[in-house]
Chain A
Amino acid sequence: MPQTNTRSIRPAYKEAWLCFILVAVVGIAKAQSGSFEGPKSTGNVQKSEQPSEQSTEKAIAQYRQMLQEANPADLYVTKGEALWNSARGPNRQSLASCDLGLGPGIVKGAWAQMPRYFEDTQRVQDLESRILFCMQEIQGFNSIDLAAQDFNTPERLNISLLAVYVASESEGVPFNVPMSLPQEKEMYKIGKKLFFLRAGTHDFSCSTCHSQTGRRIRLQDLPNLTTHEGAGGAYGSWPAYRISTGSIWTMQQRLSDCFRQQRFPKPIFASPATIALSVYMGFNANGSVASAPGLKR
């Protein structure tokens, strides 16, 4: 073997090996960062599906962005505002004096500090239970009868309109759910316990679907409600306009349908346990900016 140019060859080999190792490391690192967390699947199916996964997600994100500009919820916010200010109910009063926690009649920014404890009811109340209370106290509606109805009855639909209006007045405001009073802390604990409560024919709890990041049911992304990011994004986007039903859904309605799919018995509208869940999610969301009204499939 000729000995000429040995010096020029050896550094080249070294460089080549370094390059090879670098490429290998980068290649392995890229392969490890799959789009799903959790247990590995058999075979290489998940990895070979990834390119089409990403293009599906991208297409969905683009579609959502286009729709965001045209959220029909805006139409319902206008209706809700009109309802809020009109004299209704047996007492023929408007809700203009309703205290949502910032003082009578102050709607702007009120939802972002709910649920919270209210001195006049000595209860922790969420958006809908508080609206229900004001409808009874000021307008003379019977909150028990209203709560016993279904979501699609005329007056319950009105509550959804009022809720979406009030929530929209906190758009852009960071959540600031208080957690200083023992009653508030108690509700947080109860909400968290219920969140993890497995029951029913399928052993489902809220946490079955909502305690891991990056998962989905069919093609519907699931927020991780135990984390700040997940709770902030998800909790803050309800009430929302649901395209599939062409209607406004509030958090109470979302919870009710979740429990239906969990094969639980039916939650009572604005009941303590449902408020507790909003306390849990709302407090987890603190600091995140409210985005309601949202737009959902």
Chain B
Amino acid sequence: MKMVKANFIHISKKIRSWRDTFVFLFALLLIGCSHQSQTERVNAAFASNSGTDTEYLNESYLKLSFGPSGIATMDRLNQDKTQTFCSQIAYDATHTGMPLVSKNTSKPDLLFESLREANKALIFTPTDLVYFGDYARGEAIAQDGRGKTWTDSADQFSGGNCYNCHQLSKKELSFGTLGPSLYGYGKSRGVTSQAIYGELIKNPKESPLVQYTWGMLVNSKAYNLCTVMPRFGVAFESLKGFDHSGTKAILNERQLQDLMALLLDPNSPVNRE
């Protein structure tokens, strides 16, 4: 704080307007915050509990209990509207017994629908309408669970970690059951020959299957707002306005194309066995 004070005196001579003052004070605040060490953070966390815990779980409470580490910055705790909405209905559902991952829309809920539409708008069209890549790379992406944790580096490619929650190829027995099985995904939806697959590649916009599969990979919340499946292709900056240096979204366009091939290519291990 002594260093900051010296800078204040030096810089204050250069302030010429109220705007400059405001910007300067704001910068001070940012500098002050970023200089907070782990020990100071812990200090604050412990100090807050000297009284009774009457604060509800809000932003400042969270800031007392978490700290940045590696690429996992504190802004990750800022929820976007979808996250806030789905957190709330899950919290409420434990009282009502309603399913947690989907919402009963027999009565149209305006907020629910508008959030779904907002998510749908984030589904982009791939460059040159190329929806499909290489299924062997896709399988590697499905097996890979790295990326975006505080032990990962900023430029590390994320995996899709699909096997964490889904069955995919027949051979892989180590699969999770948080999501439905995707074994035979393309085959059971009529993509049974290279000719048919070729059609999907040539005319992807005309194929509801291609659009749905791509949509689910990019932003599953466009279909089921409160699904637990991450939004693999949505740029972080369009979610909350922060930017992770290194990668724009969890998966990039090429990775998404490779996953499309894994799911729909008849020769992919998902469909051929």
| A–B contact (CB under 8 angstroms) | yes
Q: Is the interface of A mostly helix, strand, loop or mixed?
A: mixed
**Chain A stretch 1-54: residues in CB contact (< 8 A) with chain B:** 36, 38-43, 45-46, 49, 52
Q: Report if A42-B49 is in contact (Cβ < 8 Å); known contacts: A263-B149, A265-B74.
A: no
CB distance from A143 to the nearest CB of B (A): 7
B230 lies within 8 A of A203 (CB): yes
Residues of A within 8 A of B132 (CB): none
Query: In the bound complex, do residue B68 and residue A271 qualify as a contact, i.e. CB atoms below 8 Å apart?
Result: no
User: In the complex, which residues of chain A have a beta carbon less than 8 angstroms from the beta carbon of B127?
Assistant: none
A127 → chain B, closest Cβ, in Å?
16
Q: Does B138 contact A (CB under 8 A)?
A: no
Instruction: Given A56-B173, A209-B178, A212-B100, decide whether A273 and B87 contact each other with a Cβ distance below 8 A.
Output: no
Contacts of B91 in A (CB 8 A): 192-193, 196
Assembly CA distance A216 to B73 (angstroms): 28
- A41→B189 CA distance, assembly (Å): 12
Q: Which of B69, B76, B164 contacts A200 (CB 8 A)?
A: B76
- A195: nearest chain-B partner, CB-CB: B91
Q: Which residue of B lies closest to A37 (CB)?
A: B177
Contact of A190 among B53, B82, B180 (CB under 8 A): B53
Binds A, one of B10-18, B20-28, B55-63, B199-207: B55-63
A49 CA to B181 CA, complexed, in Å? 11
- What 1/0 flags go to A130-166 for Cβ under 8 Å of B? 0000000000000111011000000000000000000
Is there an interface contact between A271 and B73, defined as CB atoms closer than 8 Å? Answer: no
Once the chains are docked, how many angstroms separate the CA of A52 from the CA of B174? 12
Q: When the two chains form their complex, are residues A273 and B65 in contact, meaning their CB atoms are under 8 A apart? A: yes
- Please report which residues of chain A, range 196-216, place their CB below 8 angstroms from some CB of chain B when the two chains form the complex: 196-205, 207-209, 211-212, 214-216
Of the listed stretches B39-47, B106-114, B253-261, chain A binds B39-47
Is A113 among interface residues, defined by CB-CB distance under 8 A?
A: no
A78 within 8 A of B: no
Cβ of B232 to closest chain A Cβ, rounded Å: 9
Inter-chain contacts of A217 with B (CB < 8 A): 164-165, 176, 178
Q: How near does chain B come to A17, taking the closest CB pair, in angstroms?
A: 35
Instruction: Tell whether, in the assembled complex, residue B72 and residue A271 are in contact, meaning their CB atoms are under 8 Å apart.
Output: no
CB of B73, distance to nearest CB on chain A (Å) = 6
Once the chains bind, are B230 and A202 in contact (CB under 8 Å)?
yes
On whether the beta carbons of B174 and A268 are closer than 8 Å, the reply is no
Which size bracket describes the interface of A in this complex? 35 or more
Q: Is the pair B38, A148 in contact by a Cβ cutoff of 8 Å? A: yes
Which chain A residues border B135 with CB–CB below 8 Å? none
Q: Are A264's CB and B49's CB within 8 A? A: no
Contact of A265 among B45, B86, B150, B188 (CB under 8 A): B150
Given contacts A42-B180, A218-B164, contact A143 B52 (CB under 8 A): no
Residues B65 and A267 in contact, CB atoms below 8 Å apart: yes
- The one of B49, B62, B148 in contact with A201, judged by C-beta atoms closer than 8 angstroms, is B148
Given contacts A263-B72, A265-B66, A265-B72, A201 and B184 within 8 Å (CB-CB): no
Q: Does A76 contact B (CB under 8 A)?
A: no
Q: Does B115 contact A (CB under 8 A)?
A: no
Tell me the minimal C-beta distance from A262 to chain B in angstroms: 9
Q: Which residues of B contact A214 (CB under 8 A)?
A: 177
Of A63-71, A180-188, A228-236, the one with at least 4 CB within 8 A of chain B: A180-188
Residues in A with CB closer than 8 Å to B148 are: 201-202, 263
Nearest 7 pairs between A and B by C-beta? A273-B65, A266-B69, A271-B65, A202-B230, A41-B181, A198-B83, A193-B57
**A residues within 8 Å of B by Cβ?**
36, 38-43, 45-46, 49, 52, 56, 121-124, 143-145, 147-148, 182-183, 186-187, 189-190, 192-194, 196-205, 207-209, 211-212, 214-219, 222, 226, 259-261, 263-274, 276
Chain B positions within 8 Å of A, measured between CB atoms, are 37-39, 41-43, 45-46, 48-57, 61-62, 64-69, 72-74, 76-79, 82-83, 86-88, 90-91, 94, 100-101, 148-151, 163-165, 167, 173-178, 180-181, 183-185, 187-189, 221, 228, 230-231, 236, 244, 250
Besides A123-B52, A183-B54, A216-B178, 13 other A-B contacts (C-beta < 8 A): A40-B180, A41-B167, A41-B180, A42-B181, A45-B183, A143-B46, A147-B42, A148-B41, A199-B83, A200-B76, A217-B165, A261-B149, A267-B66
* 6 chain-A/chain-B pairs, Cβ below 8 angstroms: A38-B177, A144-B42, A147-B46, A190-B56, A265-B67, A276-B53
